[in-house]
Amino acid sequence: MVSGEVRRGAITNTIAIASTIEAEQQVTVHAESTGRIVSLKAEEGAEVKKGARLAQIKFDSQSSALTRANTSLAKAQEDYDRAKRLFEGSAIGREELQNAKSALDMAKLDVRDRRREMKNTKVIAPFNGTIVERQVAEGGFVTSGAALFTITDFDTLVARVYVPEKELDRLAIGQEAEVVGKAAKGRRAVGKIERIAPIVDASTGTVKVTISLPRDQVGPGGFLPGMYAEVTLTTDHHDDVPLIPKSAVVYDEDQAYVFVIDGERVKKARIEIGLSDAESVELNSGPAPGEPIVIAGQAGLKDGSLISLVDYQGNPLAPGETAPPKTGDESKAGAAEESAGKPAANG
């Protein structure tokens, strides 16, 4: 049986959750006109500004249509002006004047439509960003709706994680979170909680949390959309509290216990656990700091069991002596005790 004691120290509770990096602002730019690409002004990796021209679609037919519409508009304007003079001279009735006005309005609408069609032959960047994919080549024929470019704003890269509902009250907007790339090595950044969803997913019992990444840690050489990452959130920290090794805790249904060493026997003591990390747990109630406890080899122990103390190699310990901290690949206490031929406990 390996012993230790309740100690005082600091403990930090963290949760690590897998995530995929994504851009909140990423769009595929589609053609809004049909025709051949006569000019290509952007390549993959190029940074573009909002409103910049990415490509030009051939516009011969659209230009001709606009010329015809402008000619029709000029004729409709002349007809209306003449009708207005005649109406003022009582040469025609109000109905003829209204017909001329309607023809003028239709001509103006036609010019507006033809101008929009001309404008649609220009492929424009919808926001500042980087071309991450080009799906068209110069000289290629495209139809309206065809995908041309994909643009990503790297300033909007985020990691989204789904946090257990019980941790919700320990999170806050602006709280820091460590983001580490798992497949692509060397990616590590400290992001901040940007948003916490206002609802809980009833099917999973989790809350969606969005974490923004710093601009200097994204893009080539940093985090990229689609990368797999692990996000670590610090949910609480306590200083100078009673701590015991996780290995010391035994469970009976939903209740936690430790075995307190009392001479050559042990007493089963109920405990309440607070924060926990990879190695230790905080005691909200239980043995006082300094009390000796069993930290390994509890299998089969009962309240009042007679014990023999050994170190991690199975060597007997003197009365009052505790095993030094476990290091390297030392075997667990139960296996060490068996190899030493000494029973771990007699109940």
* pLDDT of residue 254 exceeding 90: no
- Is the domain 2-12+238-346 a CATH 2.40.420.20 member? yes
Given a cut of 50, whether residue 328 has pLDDT beyond it is no
Fold of 60-118: Helix Hairpins (1.10.287)
d(CA 47, CA 61): 32
Average pLDDT, the chain: 87
Q: In what order do the strands lie in the sheet with 141-142?
A: 122-124, 53-57, 35-40, 141-142
Residue 314 banded pLDDT, cuts 50, 70, 90: low
pLDDT at 347 over 50: no
Predicted confidence band at 185 (pLDDT cuts at 50, 70, 90)?
A: confident
Q: Choose among 8, 51, 10: nearest CA to 239.
A: 10
**pLDDT of amino acid 29:** 96
> Is the confidence at residue 66, as pLDDT, over 70?
yes
Each domain of the chain, given as residue ranges in start order, spans 2-12+238-346, 13-25+154-237, 26-58+121-152, 60-118
Residue 59 has pLDDT above 60, yes or no: yes
pLDDT of 132 strictly over 50: yes
Q: Say yes or no to pLDDT of 106 above 90.
A: yes
Which pLDDT score, from 0 to 100, does residue 265 have?
86
With bands split at pLDDT 50, 70 and 90, how would you rate the model's confidence at 312?
Answer: low
Can you list the alpha helix ranges (DSSP code H) found in 43-182? Answer: 60-88, 94-119
| CATH class name, domain 13-25+154-237 | mainly beta
* CATH of the domain spanning 26-58+121-152: 2.40.50.100
